[in-house]
Amino acid sequence: MDKVVLAVVVIAGLLAGYYIRKYLAESKIKRAEETAEKILADAKQAAETTKREAQVRSKDELYRLKEELEREMREQGDKLRQFERRLLQKEESLDRRVDSFEKRERLLGKRERETAARERELNLLKEKRLVLLREAQQEIARIGGLSRNEARETLMNEMICDARERAARTIRDVEAETRENSQKISREIISTAIQRCATEYAAETSVAVVYLPNDEMKGRIIGREGRNIRALELATGVDLIVDDTPEAVIISCFDGIKRKIAEVALERLIQDGRIHPARIEEIVAKARKEIESKMIEEGEQALFEARVGKVHPELVRLLGRLRYRTSYGQNVLQHSKEVAHIAGVIASELGVDARLARRAGLLHDIGKAIDHEVEGTHAEIGAEIARKCGESKAVVEGIAMHHDNDLCEARISTVLVQAADALSASRPGARREVLESYVKRLEKLEQIASSFKESTRHTRFRRAGKLEYSLIRRKCRTMAP
């Protein structure tokens, strides 16, 4: 009995072990299958990802290759278009050259035909002349009993006299025609030069007015026992006039530079408020340096406006000094720039060196900057300064001879400078004395117009003329210095 039970237990244990091993084996197999499926799924997903990335990379590469190909095609197209344009331009140039050559060939053919015709005419004239000469010699020899050589000499003398007379007559006609045409052309050139000139009039006097904020400032300018005003006059070399003029002080001096220095210094002192001898000397020194630098700037600006190029620094400084120099009420620097412009315009109209004419015109009055310090005329002083500063002989001659009446052997630039100087100085309103004579001429015109008999029409014209005259006269009076 025990053996049966033991056998049953053993069999049951074996069966249980078998089924347990079977269950465990199936579980392992199931897990292995799941792992394999998962690995396969991951592998498929990685393969898809790799495939998509490869496709994207291939598309990018294709797009890049396409862009490079398109860029190369565009560059090749641009090169081809440029080459085509060059070919078209060369073709047009060749066509123009061919046309030009054809025109020249036609012109040369025409000239050759004309030359041949003239040669034939000359040959005929020579033959006729020889025939006439032989006939004349025979006639003279027959009539006068002269030999052949004597008759030839007599005839040649008569022909020479006749030719000289005809040449003299032709020369007189050409001179008269040239004189008439030259006067007309010169008027047109001068009018063109004046119309193209746009320099401003600058009429200055020998006094300057400095306005004050109040009348109490006059006492501060005068100072205790007049020490401030004496220090200012001594430092600047001007005369200060403090009179009953409300809120104003008058600076009087014929030297424009000193007057300008005093004006600038006094304005600075009024703004600063500290007015005493030491401060006056300091401000005057600063104003003098400022005016010196301003003169150099004015000279460089004049050179730029006249387009004459570089000059010696000393000439630049002297040109700036002309800004504060007047001649008959006309500013000398403005006058010099105007002369340079007019001379340059006339020179360009005549086809000569306009740059040389402008240079000589700008520097023609350079001697006026120091003519009060050196003996001699301003033309002689200016010519000597220009010579020392390395200017050319043409410029030196233009400066030295711009007031000379004898210009027979002068350069054309010198003649242009003298003409431009006269035009600039004689324009109405440019100078004080010319303005006065212009007003007198208008007064004479009014008297002449008033001398005619009255009529309705004349009265209307005279009233309009008087109104216009009054306006012109008022304008001229305001322009007067």
Reported as a pLDDT band with limits 50, 70 and 90, residue 455 is very low
In the DSSP assignment, the letter for residue 154 is H
Reported as a pLDDT band with limits 50, 70 and 90, residue 464 is very low
Other C-beta atoms lying within 10 Å of the C-beta of residue 146: 15
Tell me the per-residue pLDDT of 310-365, one tens digit each, with 9 for 90 and over.
Answer: 888 888 888 888 888 877 777 888 888 888 888 888 888 778 888 888 888 888 88
Choice between 157 and 343, residue whose per-residue pLDDT is larger: 343
In the chain, the largest separation of any two C-alpha atoms, in whole Å, equals: 207
Query: 65-72 — which CB contacts under 8 Å span 24+ positions?
Result: none
Choice between 471 and 440, residue whose per-residue pLDDT is larger: 440
Cβ atoms of residues 435 and 450 within 8 Å: no
What is the value of pTM for the model shown?
Answer: 0.52
Q: What is the pLDDT of residue 298?
A: 87
Residue 136, class by beta-carbon neighbours within 10 Å (0-12 exposed, 13-18 middle, 19+ buried)?
middle
**Average pLDDT value for residue range 353-381:** 85
Tell me the per-residue pLDDT of 119-135, one tens digit each, with 9 for 90 and over.
Answer: 888 788 778 777 777 77
Instruction: Please give the Cα distance from 241 to 139 (Å, whole number).
Output: 102
Q: What are the tokens at 254?
A: 């014929």
Tell me the per-residue pLDDT of 10-58, one tens digit each, with 9 for 90 and over.
Answer: 777 777 777 777 777 777 788 888 888 888 888 888 888 888 888 888 8
Q: What is the pLDDT of residue 372?
A: 79
Choice between 230 and 192, residue whose per-residue pLDDT is larger: 230
Other C-beta atoms lying within 10 Å of the C-beta of residue 199: 20
Q: In what order do the strands lie in the sheet with 239-241?
A: 207-211, 248-252, 239-241
Measuring CA to CA, which residue among 419, 466, 437 is closest to residue 458?
466
Other C-beta atoms lying within 10 Å of the C-beta of residue 381: 21
Reported as a pLDDT band with limits 50, 70 and 90, residue 439 is low
Choice between 137 and 219, residue whose per-residue pLDDT is larger: 219
In the DSSP assignment, the letter for residue 203 is B
> Is residue 327 within a helix (H) or strand (E), and if so which, with residue range?
strand 326-327
Helix, strand, or coil (residue 374): coil
Q: What is the pLDDT of residue 41?
A: 83
Q: What is the pLDDT of residue 481?
A: 40
Question: What DSSP assignment string belongs to 375-442?
Answer: SS-HHHHHHHHHHHTT--HHHHHHHHTTT-S--TT--HHHHHHHHHHHHHHHSTTTSHHHHHHHHHHH
Instruction: Please give the Cα distance from 392 to 378 (Å, whole number).
Output: 18
Angle at Cα 395 formed by Cα 394 and Cα 399, nearest 5°?
115
Tell me the per-residue pLDDT of 237-293, one tens digit each, with 9 for 90 and over.
Answer: 888 888 777 888 888 888 888 888 888 888 888 888 888 888 888 888 998 898 888
Cβ atoms of residues 385 and 366 within 8 Å: yes
Measuring CA to CA, which residue among 425, 204, 210, 468 is closest to residue 324?
204
Position 311: which residue type? Answer: V
Rg of the chain (C-alpha set): 52
Least confident of 49-53, 208-212, 215-219, 442-446: 442-446
Instruction: Please give the Cα distance from 317 to 55 (Å, whole number).
Output: 82
Going 130 to 136 to 138 to 144, the CA torsion angle's sign is negative
Measuring CA to CA, which residue among 235, 237, 262, 231 is closest to residue 249?
262
Q: What are the tokens at 362?
A: 């700008």
pLDDT of residue 432 exceeding 60, the answer is: no
Measuring CA to CA, which residue among 412, 417, 411, 416 is closest to residue 399?
417
pLDDT of residue 465 exceeding 60, the answer is: no
Cβ atoms of residues 210 and 260 within 8 Å: no
